[in-house]
Amino acid sequence: MRDFQVKKIAVIGQGYVGLPLAIAFSDFFPVIGFDINKTRIEELKQGVDRTLETDKKELARVRDLYATSNQSKGYDASSSTADIADANVYIVTVPTPIDRYNSPDLSPVIGASKMIGELLTAGDLVIYESTVYPGCTEEECIPVLEKYSGLTFNQDFYVGYSPERINPGDKVNSLQKVVKVTSGSTPEAGLAVDGLYKKIIEAGTHLAPSIKVAEAAKVIENAQRDVNISFMNELALIFDRVGIDTQDVLDAAGTKYNFLRFKPGLVGGHCISVDPYYLAQKATQLGYHPHVILSGREVNDQIASFIASKVVKLMIQKNIKFDGAKALVLGVTFKENCPDIRNSKVIDMIHDLQEFGLKVDAYDPWVNVEEVKSHFNIELLSTLPEIGDYDSVILAVGHREFLHLDLSNLKKENSVVFDIKGILDRKLVDARL
């Protein structure tokens, strides 16, 4: 391991995390971006990235580099394991979701480990980037690698863990510009992993003393944000009852030099709303009930229902009849200026509005309409109507396209406007979070 040399890198999973990582490494090494989704691979071969994390020009550049360098560096995409069988570095970037009971679903990372195990040869290095609870890599993944490879861990092959820190849609804090935490199963493996990432990370790396430390660092990053946002959401629930505007309170409190300016909102996405459950499960296994983490999750999970209920109450106060009433939801992604719909809480809010009897239309210029339909069985508007007759309009996502939208053409004179993001002119809204 001491004199480890990279021959070929296989990045397993070509989504928001795997694709940028594969492209970054491709300037230095031959890289195969592997994904079981054949449609995704075909799109990448055609220069199409529906995540918008890279563009057609960049994809063409690194694919050309793969051909012109005689496969000594550059990028290619594949859904065939035969194309990654000769790799000696495997990097796992598959999702680690939760199920409907909020329990961690390790099947994608276990499935990737099984596949890699069947390909492993002596001297190979496997690096996990998928978010897991502390101890998961060693307790769940490595035994699978050993079983399906027939090789001995830390003798025939080595393992590292380097948690992903990619923020979808963020072109400022990109992969290369955020410090990368690294770790390895032995001191030599840790140095090999750290040296590998030093090639692409301009901001530098932090070599953690163990894989468990690196795993824990990742889950607490998002758990911390989740708890902080849950406090703001709880304040919003309280101040709604008091009858004062939460944003006004935060503006006043924010004049203190050490006040942490988090904002209330819907907490979705692939990390913040998921990772705390991974840490909570591990804590529970060890006999400790994590009060703060789970209470924060409970508060954040009820915000979608609160907003739907608030809209309905405001409609009642304005004597708006519910028979045939229509609502327009602007935005369905989990964050602004990004096509990522994973675990979006806007979907929950739409379902709650429908349960109240409202006919709900939704529009989002950033997403694929068919993808939303297949994932959530919700049919989005392909375009906004020039003239609308909506009884309520809910701005759910702060896409740049909505910042200067003329709502007067979309809503009835007697209607409710709810601004979840707090970005519209206050004179135009009835309430905001």
- The enclosing H or E element of 180 equals strand 180-182
Sign (positive/negative) of CA torsion 419, 423, 424, 430?
A: positive
Q: Which two tokens stand for residue 406?
A: 């003329």
Nearest to 361 by CA among 394, 328, 337, 408: 328
What 3-state class would DSSP assign to 213? helix
Give the Cα separation of 87 and 76 in Å (integer): 13
Partnered with residue 159 across adjacent β-strands are: 126
Q: Which two tokens stand for residue 370?
A: 């068919």
Nearest to 416 by CA among 324, 323, 345, 310: 310
89-92 vs 125-128, strand pairing mode: parallel
Nearest to 91 by CA among 11, 146, 29: 11
Give the Cα separation of 247 and 264 in Å (integer): 9
Nearest to 326 by CA among 412, 407, 252, 243: 412
Q: Is 271 a catalytic residue?
A: yes
**Close Cβ partners of 95 (under 8 Å, ≥ 6 residues apart):** 13, 15, 108, 130, 270, 342
**Close Cβ partners of 244 (under 8 Å, ≥ 6 residues apart):** none
The length of the chain is 433
Task: Answer yes or no: are the C-beta atoms of 11 and 93 closer than 8 Å.
Answer: yes
- DSSP letter string over 230-278? HHHHHHHHHHHHHT--HHHHHHHHTTSTT----------TTTTTTHHHH
Nearest to 358 by CA among 433, 429, 416: 416
- The enclosing H or E element of 182 equals strand 180-182
* Integer CA distances (angstroms), 204 to 166, 188, 199, in order: 15, 19, 9
Q: Which two tokens stand for residue 311?
A: 């809209």
Q: Which positions are catalytic?
A: 271
